[in-house]
């Protein structure tokens, strides 16, 4: 009996139970190995950014939003883990500065650098046994690069049962945010403007301390070069934000389920 108990204890120690999180950065290597053995072979690679977002939103906007959406997507999919969020993405030319790089604090990668980081990340995940690797990007300039890398590696591994998915529906018009707002409040014109209604609402839902309430304003395209925002955040609120986040999550889950069911 004593031998049996010892063997059981050794078995428990060498084969840890699945962690209570889907975030790989909060797991040990043994927990990740156990998860993969248990069928957790889908992984989300979230790409955020470090960029100016007008006078009223902190630079980590995209990353704070992904802290909410990425694990929610993984949990709804099931058998899915989430890699650490990439906080550096293309944000404009560095020298001479363009786009968001005109504003202090923004950190930018060249597109070819970003592509190389994505590729090395995916190759690392494949080496550990992941089969479906999904790019979920919060930033517009990241989308084309993610799509390019996903196509390249999926073609390379088409005979190995490994696919890389650029989850475009999370970010583009297929997430339904604009269509929903047109029904909810047709007077809101530029819903997706930088630092505008959607951006501010999502932050109020995901990380309200990252919004400087007194600096919200009715900005327009003519204000961008001065303040870094080109949309109005006057009517933004956390209820809108919760809906916007739910639409992104739902669109991503639907696309990934469709893709990995092929």
Cα–Cα distance for residue pair 49/13, rounded to 1 Å: 39
- What pLDDT, in 10s, does the model give residues 203-237? 999 999 999 999 999 999 999 999 999 999 999 99
Is residue 14 within 8 A of residue 105, CB to CB? The reply is no
pLDDT number for residue 6: 40
| Mean per-residue pLDDT over the chain, rounded | 93
The predicted pLDDT at position 105 comes to: 98
CA 150/CA 49 separation, integer angstroms: 19
**What was the pLDDT predicted at 232?**
97
Task: Assign 47 to helix, strand or coil.
Answer: strand
Interval 167-189 mean pLDDT:
95
First CA to last CA distance, the chain: 49
Please state the domain extents for the chain. Answer: 19-260
In tens, the pLDDT along 53-85 reads 999 999 999 999 999 999 999 999 999 999 999
**CA–CA distance, 26 with 23 (Å, rounded to integer):** 6
What is the C-alpha to C-alpha distance for residues 135 and 42, in angstroms, rounded to an integer?
11
- What b/e readout covers 223-255, taking b as 16+ CB neighbours within 10 angstroms? bbeebbbbbbbeebebebbbbbbbbbbbbbbbb
- Superfamily of domain 19-260 in the CATH hierarchy: Creatininase (3.40.50.10310)
């Amino acid at each position: 009996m004593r031998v049996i108990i010892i063997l059981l204890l050794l078995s428990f120690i060498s084969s840890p139970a699945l962690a209570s999180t889907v975030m790989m950065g909060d797991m040990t290597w043994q927990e990740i190995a156990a998860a993969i053995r248990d069928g957790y072979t889908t992984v989300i690679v979230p790409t955020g950014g470090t960029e100016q977002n007008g006078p009223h939103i902190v630079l980590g906007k995209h990353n704070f939003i992904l802290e909410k959406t990425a694990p929610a997507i993984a949990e709804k999919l099931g058998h899915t883990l989430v890699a650490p969020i990439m906080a550096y993405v293309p944000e404009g030319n560095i020298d001479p500065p363009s786009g968001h790089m005109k504003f202090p604090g923004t950190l930018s990668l060249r597109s070819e650098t970003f592509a190389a980081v994505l590729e090395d990340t995916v190759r690392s995940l494949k080496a550990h046994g992941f089969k479906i690797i999904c790019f979920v990007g919060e930033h517009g300039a990241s989308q084309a690069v993610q799509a390019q890398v996903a196509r390249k590696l999926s073609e390379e591994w088409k005979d190995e049962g490994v696919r890389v998915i650029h989850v475009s529906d999370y970010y583009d018009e297929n997430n339904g945010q604009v269509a929903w707002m047109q029904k909810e409040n047709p007077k809101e014109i530029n819903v997706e403007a930088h630092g505008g209604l959607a951006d501010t609402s999502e932050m109020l839902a995901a990380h309200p301390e990252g919004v400087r309430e007194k600096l919200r304003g009715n900005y327009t395209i003519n204000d961008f070069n001065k303040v870094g925002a080109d949309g109005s955040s006057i009517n933004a609120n956390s209820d809108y934000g919760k809906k916007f986040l739910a639409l992104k999550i739902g669109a991503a889950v639907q696309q990934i389920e469709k893709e990995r069911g092929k």
